[in-house]
Amino acid sequence: MVIRILEPADYGLFAMSQAVLTALAFLNGYSFATSLVQSREISDHRISQVFGMLILANVLIAAAQFILAPVAASYYGQPLVADMLRIQAVIFLATPFIALPSALLARRIEFRSQGLVNMLCALAGASTALIMAWYGFGVWALVFAPIAMAAVRAIGLTISARLLVWPTFDFRGAGDVVTFGGALTLCQLLWIVQSQSDIFIAGRAFEPHDLGIYTTSLFLVLIVSGKFLPPINEVTFPAMSELSKDGLPLAPFFIRMMRTVALVTAPIYIGLALTAEATVFTIMGDKWSEMIPIIAGLALAMPFFALQIVCSPATNAIGRPRIYVATSAFGALVFPAVFLVGIASGPMGLVHAWWVAAPSLLAFTLVLTLPAIDVKLSDLIRELAPVAAACTVMAAGVLALGAFISPLPYIVQLVLLALAGALLYGGTLWLAWPRLLKETWAMIREGKQDPVAAAVAI
361 contacts 329 by C-beta, under 8 angstroms = no
Round to whole Å and give the CA distance between 72 and 299. Answer: 30
Round to whole Å and give the CA distance between 369 and 372. Answer: 5
User: Along the chain (458 residues), what's the average pLDDT of each consecutive run of 10 residues?
Assistant: 88 89 77 62 72 87 93 90 94 88 72 81 94 94 94 88 74 59 68 83 86 89 78 68 70 85 92 94 88 95 90 76 85 93 92 95 93 88 94 96 92 95 95 84 58 49
User: Could you tell me the CA-to-CA distances from 271 to 232, 300, 432 in Å, in that order?
Assistant: 22, 9, 20
pLDDT at 102: 80
Round to whole Å and give the CA distance between 198 and 339. Answer: 6
Centre a 10 Å sphere on the Cβ of residue 127 and count the other Cβ atoms it contains.
Answer: 12
363 contacts 308 by C-beta, under 8 angstroms = no
169 contacts 52 by C-beta, under 8 angstroms = yes
Closest CA to 109 of 239, 8, 10: 239
Closest CA to 230 of 62, 449, 30: 30
pLDDT at 458: 47
pLDDT at 183: 60
User: Could you tell me the CA-to-CA distances from 187 to 136, 192, 316, 414 in Å, in that order?
Assistant: 39, 8, 11, 39
211 contacts 27 by C-beta, under 8 angstroms = no
* Phi/psi at 21 (5° precision): -60, -45
Which conformational region is residue 351 in: left (phi greater than 0), alpha (psi within -120 to 50 degrees), or beta?
alpha
Round to whole Å and give the CA distance between 156 and 356. Answer: 41
pLDDT, one tens digit per residue, over 25-54 is 777 766 666 666 555 666 677 778 778 888
Closest CA to 208 of 402, 12, 340, 399: 12
Q: How many residues does the chain have?
A: 458
Residue 162 host element (H or E): none
Alpha helix stretches (DSSP H) within 284-346: 291-309, 312-317, 321-342
Half-sphere exposure of 457 (CA within 13 A, CB side): 15
Round to whole Å and give the CA distance between 419 and 219. Answer: 24
Which contacts of 415-418 are long-range, i.e. CB under 8 A and separated by 24 or more positions? 417/271, 417/274, 417/275, 417/278, 418/271, 418/275
